[in-house]
Chains A and B, each alone.
Chain A
Amino acid sequence: MSAIPERIRDDFPALAQEINGHPLVYFDNAATTQKPRAVLDAIQKYYEHDNANVHRGIHELSNRATATYEGARDRVAQFINAPAREDIIFTRGTTEAINLVAATWGAANLGAGDVILLTELEHHSNLVPWQLLVERTGAQLRFIPVTGDEGTLDLSVIDNLLAGVKLLSLTHISNALGTLNPVAELCAQAQAIGAVTLVDAAQSAGHLPLDVQAIGCDFLAFSGHKLCGPTGIGALFARRELQETMPPYQGGGEMISKVEFHKSEFNVPPHKFEAGTPNVAGAAGLHAALDYLDAIGLDSIHAHDTELAQYAQEQLSGFEGIRIFGPAAERGGLVSFIFENVHALDLATLADQQGVAIRIGHHCTQPLHEKLGVPATARASFYFYNTRSEVDRFIEVLQKVIKLLK
């Protein structure tokens, strides 16, 4: 049984509400998580006491705002065990982090014929930025295939796939199927042939202990809002040696050291990649979220998430005509499924009538759904504040919904 007490739910104001006359069962955590009071308080406190613009201000409030922002950078570095604080670039989230790598490192280092290796599991945010880069540079995309409904990567021909690869970019945990990929092994194999590696940690950060040195990747991206933090803030880990070679991302204030009418000199990394006034309140909230998660313990969170997914999978397998996706082991805390002759849209609409929030659709992985031969799947995704009794309620609601639709 989980080591996380149910009373932790009291920390989350949004969880204590009724939807359509029923207690909310929030199973859409892979899309975004709810926020604990500690995070809400940190944002409020920042605006009430410390709000100012960062870095060049001489006055006290600006010093506090800078300390808040740069303190969050230290905290993120610690959270993912980055070798140095300068390895952390703040972004709006995972999507912007990957776009930043494509627009800077990618544009400077990839040319016609160079191969970018992705997997068939990728979220559109780790696919479309590379497609755009391919259009500009003539580089090409290659994909590690997925085995089928269980959603594991077929690594039988990985050596062939890696041949000539300049960049390997892959998801740590699949947002659509829950697959937990062997990122450390794959990064090691890619680096052995001189490729640069990027890990999309949107679904794993805050869900299991992350250590960029143990993974051995060159880049790692995650979003604050998927780990109890606010929206609009995320981070890109980028090894310093690589940052030194990367051209700027966006131009503006903060990212320069000297500006003349016709040319500029750029600030040192990571500031070179953070043009404009940053999301200081977001950084304050993110810092509080990381403190909150570490106090619970990421090992406990991972155990709790996967235990709920396992339990939900067992309960779901009792339904007639159900097709369940994702691996049996080595997985994150979500479960995807469809019913024969029942559209996922009907399912989610009727579940919502009873207070159960699940997501349906292609989950921003349209090519993967194309491959699986389903237009849409339903997904229940869990976090440490979810309980077994909520899974029971979810199953009971599904039974009612299926009855109504048959």
Chain B
Amino acid sequence: MATVLNSMDELADNFELLGDWESRFGYLIDLGKELPPMDAADQSEANRVYGCQAQVWMKLMPEADGRITIVANSDAFIVKGLIAVLLMIYSGKTAQEILDTDGQAQLDRLQLAGHLSPTRKNGLFAMVQRVRELAQTEGAEV
């Protein structure tokens, strides 16, 4: 049921409409399934994000125009869904825009927090931290 979404507004609206946990998680899982594939070679120790009970890999790729494309993957469906949401928040932005974005506030709009254990939340937090760290490095190199 997931379609191409243009903004977090649209995503938040969809979550709001879905109401019960089953459809919300189903939707999240579907978003994860549509995640652009990550090269197997990129799913390496160097790109590993720790802090989640599942395996997560993430790579930031700066484009010629200064925008940063993020590719990421996980071996758990729900985490892949969360990655899809994170990409919606961060991917395609410049390093400075990434650093200026309050990712936690965006995630809170989806009202998923109550459904996710602290461990999972830590996993999310770890992913947000990693995006920011990598963006900082990219920003410094420009």
Q: What are the residues of chain A within 8 A of B78 when measuring CB–CB? A: 345-346, 349-350
Any chain A CB within 8 A of the CB of B54? Answer: yes
Complex Cα–Cα for A350 and B77 (A): 11
The answer to whether A361 touches B53, judged by C-beta atoms less than 8 angstroms apart, is: yes
Stretch of B21-29, B63-71, B98-106 contacting A (4+ beta carbons < 8 Å): B21-29
Complex Cα–Cα for A346 and B117 (A): 12
Of A345, A375, A405, chain B has the most CB atoms within 10 Å of the CB of A345
Complex Cα–Cα for A187 and B75 (A): 42
> A169 to chain B: closest CB distance in Å?
28
Any chain B CB within 8 A of the CB of A360? Answer: yes
Any chain B CB within 8 A of the CB of A124? Answer: no
Any chain A CB within 8 A of the CB of B120? Answer: yes
The answer to whether A343 touches B54, judged by C-beta atoms less than 8 angstroms apart, is: yes
The answer to whether B55 touches A349, judged by C-beta atoms less than 8 angstroms apart, is: no
Complex Cα–Cα for A360 and B120 (A): 12
> A54 to chain B: closest CB distance in Å?
36
Q: What are the residues of chain B within 8 A of A213 when measuring CB–CB? A: none
The answer to whether A375 touches B55, judged by C-beta atoms less than 8 angstroms apart, is: yes
The answer to whether B77 touches A352, judged by C-beta atoms less than 8 angstroms apart, is: no
Complex Cα–Cα for A20 and B115 (A): 9
Contact of A343 among B75, B115, B116 (CB under 8 A): B75
Interface residues of A, dominant DSSP: helix
The answer to whether B54 touches A353, judged by C-beta atoms less than 8 angstroms apart, is: no
Known: A345-B78, A349-B117. A376 touches B53 (CB 8 A): yes
> A364 to chain B: closest CB distance in Å?
13
The answer to whether A345 touches B29, judged by C-beta atoms less than 8 angstroms apart, is: no
Known: A343-B77, A349-B116, A349-B117. A360 touches B53 (CB 8 A): yes
A353 to B, closest residue via Cβ: B21
Q: What are the residues of chain A within 8 A of B31 when measuring CB–CB? A: none
Within A358-382, which residues are at the interface with B (CB < 8 Å)?
360-361, 375-376
B23 to A, closest residue via Cβ: A404
Complex Cα–Cα for A343 and B54 (A): 8
Known: A352-B117, A353-B115, A405-B77. A345 touches B25 (CB 8 A): no
Q: What are the residues of chain A within 8 A of B75 when measuring CB–CB? A: 343, 375
> A17 to chain B: closest CB distance in Å?
16
Q: List 10 A-B contacts (CB under 8 A).
A: A20-B115, A343-B75, A343-B76, A346-B76, A349-B25, A353-B21, A353-B25, A375-B75, A404-B22, A404-B26
